Amino acid sequence: MTGAGQVWVLVAHEIRRRWRSLLIWGVALGALGALYVALYPTMSRYIEDYMENAPGGMEQYFEEFGGSMTVEQWLGSEFRVGIAPIALSFLLIIMGARAIAGNEERKTLDLLLSNPLRRSQVVAGSLGAMALSLAGILVIICILTYIAALIAGVDLGPGGLAAALVALWPLCLVFGALALLMSAWVRRAAIAIAVPGVIMVVMYVVESLAEAIEAVRPYRLISLFHHLGRPMEGDFPWTAVLLMLAGTCVLGAAALAAFARRDVYT
Amino acid sequence: MSSAILTEALTKRYGRRPGIENLDLEVLPGEIFGFIGPNGAGKSTTIRLLLDLLHPSSGRAMLLGLDAHRDSVAVRRAVGYLPGEFGLDPRMTGRQLLQHFGRLRGMDDLGAAPDLAGRLDLDLDLPMGRLSRGNRQKIGLVQAMFHRPPLLILDEPTTGLDPLVQDTFLQALREARDEGRTVFLSSHILSEVERVCDRVAIVRSAHLAALETTGSLLEKRRKRMVMVFAAPIDAAVFTRLPGVGDVGFQAGPGERQITVTLRIDDGVDGVIKTAAQYTLLDLRVEHPSLDEVFLGYYEEEQP
């Protein structure tokens, strides 16, 4: 069997092993997206009423919405600084941390490495499983959210929805790959979760605060969440997506080098 | 034909603590080789070096003519490995695990797994989280052997197995040897080593203490002799003999009889000639178990 074939066996095995959990993640976050879409008509009317009756000084604040909030703005905000990006990033951090250090702690890594595999294949298989698992979850979210839009009669373009979810893919992969690097390097799953987890939360908080606090805005450049842009509104962040994919590859290569050099313990 | 396993000054240190030091070892093709020693002696470290799970501090290891590190993928293709400690995914069945490992090895079926599982009385269709300690060990044994590797490396293979299953497993190892395959097993349960191994290496405190055929190891070490005399004799006649130690005297079992026990490190000739000067009622030579042999090495090397 070729090296690529073995990597595919590892990826398929991991997805087969986790498919129920991945389905639950997809359905849960898809239901959340559907809820946002279903709530949009009510929220839209509420916001319009509020804006009409708002004091004069508030008009400047609402200018950003161009007079009213579109469904793309409403849903785009959820996919940028809502629950989905942080939940999916955390899922990939867990997967990355468990891939090597977690399996080492559970003493399952020895048996896997008793097979004719290069360690680089184990790293590649883990990264591949993360990438495909996330893609599957995003597809479920996309389908459920779009179905909800059709049922609620909301004019939501499938292209914009897909673009927002596609932009999430490399963002979450960066955090997953960082967890994989830590997992390959430090042997402790808790550390492999904590380091990227803290970085992710700091980035998330900075971006969330920057929406409301002027003084924080200069710092939002350090947040990957900020660079997601507004893909639902036709502004797909090509540069950020490509850079995040490149970052994922760099982190994956570093994980490979770290794992190849170190001893494996039980 | 190249050695099944060859190590040259193989050394692994964990910081300043030695894992194994300057190990020179050769395992011949088609033999069952026992690697014995107390816990922490360096058995598992050596095995993990052979499997390239650990990287040596110095020295090298060759398996089936392949470098353990440089050719590690080819080595693991030809080796069946049972780790000393291993975890199993509790949600997977044994069959699913073996199917996964089979795919990684490019196998279309489960190889010898159904036969091995049958012999070991193992249900491959139960989730592994529901298996007992012994049955989990059987899964480990089956995954090491199901692809019929030319070299088996087994770290404490009979741990957790009941005696009947141990017998079956040891028989499977003999069959593997008869097919020309090589078995390298570590153990601190010496009776199993005594039963199946052709040669034995004793490792202690990260150093190789002895390397012998199992037979010669048993033969040359510390026979015990028990003699029952019809009447009391002078104790000094035995204690003066060279190569004799641990001489003990005990009254009985009859009224005037006396039982003498002693340890013989060399030949029995002097003891027999001395004993023949008295009326001897009974004489037994007790061969030591490998446990006693091993303990002998261990005691000898204590500082």
Q: Please state the ipTM of this predicted complex.
A: 0.88
Task: Specify whether the CB–CB gap between B222 and B243 falls below 8 A.
Answer: no
Give A-chain residues touching B100 at CB under 8 angstroms: 9, 13
Tokens matching residue A183: 């997992």
Specify the amino acid at residue B287.
Answer: H
Which residues are bridge partners to B210 per DSSP? Answer: B202
Task: Dump pLDDT digits (tens) for A201-219.
Answer: 999 999 989 888 889 999 9
- Cα atoms in the Cβ-side hemisphere of radius 13 Å centred on A216: 15
For the ranges A83-87, A212-216, B287-291, the maximum mean pLDDT occurs at A83-87
What is the nearest CA distance from B159 to chain A, expressed in angstroms?
16
* For residue A54, pLDDT beyond 80: no
**Any A CB within 8 A of B133 CB:** no
More confident residue, B221 or B163: B163
User: Which of B86, B143, B159 is the mutation pick for testing A, counting most A CBs within 10 A?
Assistant: B86
pLDDT reported for residue B110: 96
Q: Which of A1, A17, A106 is the closest to B106 by Cβ?
A: A1
Using DSSP's 3-state secondary structure scheme, residue B147 falls into: coil
Which residue from A43, A41, A37 is spatially nearest to A161, judged by alpha carbons?
A37
Chain B contact for A121 (CB, 8 A cutoff): no
Over 90: is that where the pLDDT of B33 sits?
yes
Question: In this structure, what token pair is assigned to residue B104?
Answer: 């990684």
Which of B39, B49, B53 to probe by mutation at the A interface, max A CB count within 10 Å? B53
Say if CB A167 and CB A184 are below 8 A apart.
Answer: no
Q: How close A173 gets to chain B, by Cα (Å)?
A: 25
Q: Is there a contact between B194 and B206 (Cβ–Cβ < 8 Å)?
A: no
Give the mean pLDDT of chain A. Answer: 91
Q: For the residues B47-60, what does the mean pLDDT come to?
A: 97
User: Which of A10, A108, A113 has its CB closest to that of B89?
Assistant: A108
Tell me: the pLDDT tens digits for A220-249? 999 999 998 888 888 899 999 999 999 999
Beta-carbon count within 10 A of A254 CB: 17
Q: How big is the CA angle at A141 (ends A241 and A199), to the nearest 5 degrees?
A: 45
Residue A176 pLDDT class (50, 70, 90 cuts): very high
Which pLDDT does position B301 carry in this prediction? 54
Decide if pLDDT at B303 tops 60: no
Residue B194 is predicted with a pLDDT of 81
Nearest CA in chain B to A103: B87
- Could you tell me if A138 and A24 are in contact, meaning their C-beta atoms sit under 8 angstroms apart? no
Interchain CB distance below 8 Å, B104 and A115:
yes
Measure CB to CB from residue B81 to each of A107, A108, A114 and give the nearest one: A114
Q: Is B88 on the interface with A (CB under 8 A)?
A: yes
The per-residue pLDDT for B121 is 96
The amino acid that residue A124 corresponds to is A
Strand B199-204, strand B182-187: pairing: unpaired
For residue B192, CA distances in Å to B26, B32, B37, B195 come to: 21, 11, 13, 5
Report whether pLDDT(B225) > 90: no
Q: What pLDDT score does A66 carry?
A: 55
Question: pLDDT tier at A79 (50, 70, 90 boundaries)?
Answer: confident
Residue range A84-90: mean pLDDT, rounded: 95
Whole-number pLDDT of residue B297: 67
pLDDT greater at residue B200 or residue B295: B200
Whether A65 has a pLDDT exceeding 60, the answer reads no
Instruction: Indicate if the pLDDT at residue A64 is higher than 80.
Output: no
Q: Write the residue in A9, A107, A114 that is nearest to B103 by C-beta.
A: A9
* Each residue's pLDDT tens digit, B228-276: 988 888 877 888 888 888 888 888 777 788 888 888 877 778 888 888 8
Q: How far is B55 from chain A (nearest CA, A)?
A: 6
- Nearest CA distance, B126 vs chain A (angstrom): 16
Would the pLDDT of B288 be above 70? Answer: no
The model's confidence at residue A59, banded by pLDDT at 50, 70 and 90, is low
Residues of B in contact with A3 (CB under 8 A): none
Query: Tokens 């492999």, residue?
Result: A192
Start-to-end Cα distance in chain A: 28
Q: How confident is the model at residue A49 (pLDDT cuts 50, 70, 90)?
A: confident
Give pLDDT tens digits for B94-120: 999 999 999 999 999 999 999 999 999
Check: CB of residue B79 under 8 Å from CB of residue B149: yes
| B258-264, strands of its sheet edge to edge | B244-251, B258-264, B223-229, B280-286
Model pTM?
Answer: 0.85
- A245 close to A173: Cβ distance less than 8 angstroms: yes
Query: What mean pLDDT comes out for the span B107-136?
Result: 96
Contact residues, chain B, for A17 at CB < 8 Å:
89, 91-92
The tally of CA atoms less than 13 A away on the side-chain side of residue B33 is: 26
Angle at A72 between CA A67 and CA A75, to 5 degrees: 115
The pLDDT of residue A60 is 60
For residue A124, is pLDDT > 90?
yes
Mean pLDDT within A51-79: 71
Measured between beta carbons, the chain A residues lying within 8 angstroms of B101 are 111, 115
Contact A114 B88 (CB under 8 A): no
Q: What's the average model confidence in pLDDT over A258-262?
A: 94
Q: How far is B73 from chain A (nearest CA, A)?
A: 5
